[in-house]
Amino acid sequence: MTEEDEAAFDEFLAARSTALLRTATLVCGASPHDAEDLVQGALEKVYRHWSRIRHDNPESYARRIVVNAAISLSRRRKVIREITFARLPETPVDGPDMELRDALLVELRRLPARMRAVLVLRYWEDLSETETAALMGCSAGTVKSQAARGLARIRERMGTLEGALG
Amino acid sequence: MSLEQELSEAMRGHVAGVRASSLMGTAIRRRHRARRLRFRVAGAALATAAVAGAVPAYLALNAGPPPAAGGPAAPAGGEARAGVVEQVKVPDVGKKSVAEARAALAGVGLTVTVGNGAPGGSSPLPEPDDDDLVVEQIPAAGQAVPKGSAVELFAVARPAATSSPEAGPEKVSMPQDLGDLGDGREFGGVEFTYLPGGLVWGEWSVKNGFGVASYSTSWKKPDLPAGHYSVQAVVYRGDAAVAVTERMKGYRGQGAEPIKVGGRTAYLVNAGEAVGTIEESGTPTLVWAVGKGLAVEVMMSPDYAGELGGEAPAELRKIAEGVVPAK
């Protein structure tokens, strides 16, 4: 690594690390602390290959590593995660919207890891179906059907809560 | 607002407060230095006199029995064949400990020495722990390379050893609803008299996490980090037990064949990530209604089931058969 490589890596972190940490938090459903540990591990991999990949879309490389690590952590901890999240965090309720959003997040966490990742990438990261597919190593059709099934599952479970969702 | 928009807003709100620490770069570099190491696998062609001199002692310490292909030739024998470039297959050392990887590399007849950092790098790398886990190797396993090629290994400290001193984050976050359960075998009014050998209590428990009333804890292999499990059990009572019988009907509806545990109908399925579904790659799960208002579910982590191989279903059954009312 040259000094210029190091500086570029720092710039990359300044620009992207918070977004990657947020993605990891959403995909793995872990505490911010665990997510930070996961992102550090993933970015160490990026750093390892930095001089080779820095000119070749390091952002999507980093995102792919982070998302894969988050999915695999989420799978490994699956059973315990279900329990931990069965207990709603005691968040202050600022009106019905807050309640609805908490419930949505709970339902999001109950989805299979890859399905959740698709929803996070599509609706939080705002990636296209094609971009999501490339990142997850599947076809755009799979992304489309996973997103549709994920939304349908959430809608079904939320159905009893309010009729507010279109 | 559409569900997509609501979901997007909910996600935004959930992580709005999450920020990467400004020390992230420092932490990553520290990790990198601590975890990265290079072994140079130096054959006769590359070995300097100094390295060659150091090698036999190293091999004496680390090498297993010499490989059949290499014959009983002394490691230094490579020097005698310096003119011949012999091809060797790179052994798969992924997921092995550093000590095992060293032995395996030495085992193909190559001499090994611990090298220094990246080309041009000047700071010496820390010695890896023998116990560290090899996570990547270049060239990949199975490739034929001439004796004398360099094999680069990346190793990481095992999870238990990596937790930073200021935190035990996972441990702190585990619920302890039922207090100290000792060996964890007795809770929710039942006792698990059989567990596969070598498992210890997972040191957490939760009440009503799976409906009211339910009790759950897990056991794990001692080397698993906190928060991971090998076997988990849930005891359901009352309404929660009724919900389980519904879930069992669902399994039957998906084509699962009922089995018997202690004369009671049970289902042994690979439970999917979504509750109540069966997936081929799911979590091996045995669930049965022990009696009126009492059901028990025993799950085995896919990793652990993989280690047990064909024994996994039998072990699950043994655990289930061993469940008795608590004294």
Q: Do B10 and A108 touch (CB under 8 A)?
A: yes
Q: What is the pLDDT of residues A59-111, one digit of tens each?
A: 888 999 899 888 887 776 655 444 444 444 444 445 556 678 888 888 888 88
Question: Residue A84: what pLDDT?
Answer: 44
Kindly list the distances between the CA atom of residue B7 and the CA atoms of A126, A129, A144, in Å, as whole numbers in the listed order: 12, 17, 16
Q: Are B229 and A79 in contact (CB < 8 Å)?
A: yes
Give residue A100's pLDDT: 81
**What string of H, E and C letters represents the secondary structure of B252-301?**
HHCCCCEEEECCEEEEEEEECCCCCCECCCCEEEEEEEEECCEEEEEEEC
**pTM of the predicted model as reported, rounded to 2 decimal places:** 0.45
Please give the backbone phi and psi of residue B120, each rounded to the nearest 5 degrees, phi first.
Answer: 85, -15
Strands (E), chain B: 39-42, 87-89, 111-114, 133-138, 144-146, 152-156, 186-187, 190-192, 200-201, 206-207, 214-220, 231-237, 258-261, 264-271, 283-291, 294-300, 323-325
If pLDDT is split at 50, 70 and 90, which confidence band does B204 have? confident
pLDDT classification of B37: cutoffs 50, 70, 90: very low
Q: Which residue has the higher pLDDT, B271 or A10?
A: A10
Predicted pLDDT at B147: 74
How confident is the model over A107-165, as pLDDT tens digits?
Answer: 888 888 899 999 999 999 999 999 999 888 889 999 999 999 999 999 888 775 555 45
Q: pLDDT band for position B109 (50/70/90)?
A: low
Shortest Cα distance, chain A CAs vs residue B290, angstroms: 22
The shortest C-alpha distance from B93 to chain A (Å) reads 19
Residue A30 pLDDT grade (very low, low, confident, very high; cuts 50, 70, 90): low
Minimal CA separation from B77 to chain A, in Å: 36
pLDDT-based confidence at A7, cuts 50/70/90? very high
Which residue do the tokens 């300097």 mark? B48
**B228–A77: do the CB atoms touch at under 8 Å?**
yes
Q: How far is the C-alpha of B178 from the C-alpha of B128, rounded, in Å?
A: 40
The ipTM (two decimal places) reads 0.82
Radius of gyration of chain B (CA): 27
Residues, chain A, total? 166
Q: Does A123 sit within 8 Å of B8, measured CB to CB?
A: yes
Chain A residues in contact with B15 (beta carbon < 8 A): 22, 25-26, 124
Report the distance separating Cα A18 and Cα B253, nearest Å.
45
pLDDT in tens, B47-65: 222 233 233 323 323 333 3
Residues of chain B positioned with their CB less than 8 A from the CB of A34:
169-170, 173
Token reading at B167: 């935190």
Residue B154: burial class (beta carbons within 10 Å; 0-12, 13-18, 19+):
buried
**B246-261: pLDDT as tens digits:** 889 888 888 888 999 9
**pLDDT at position B36, please?**
47
Instruction: Tokens for A85, please give them.
Output: 């999240």
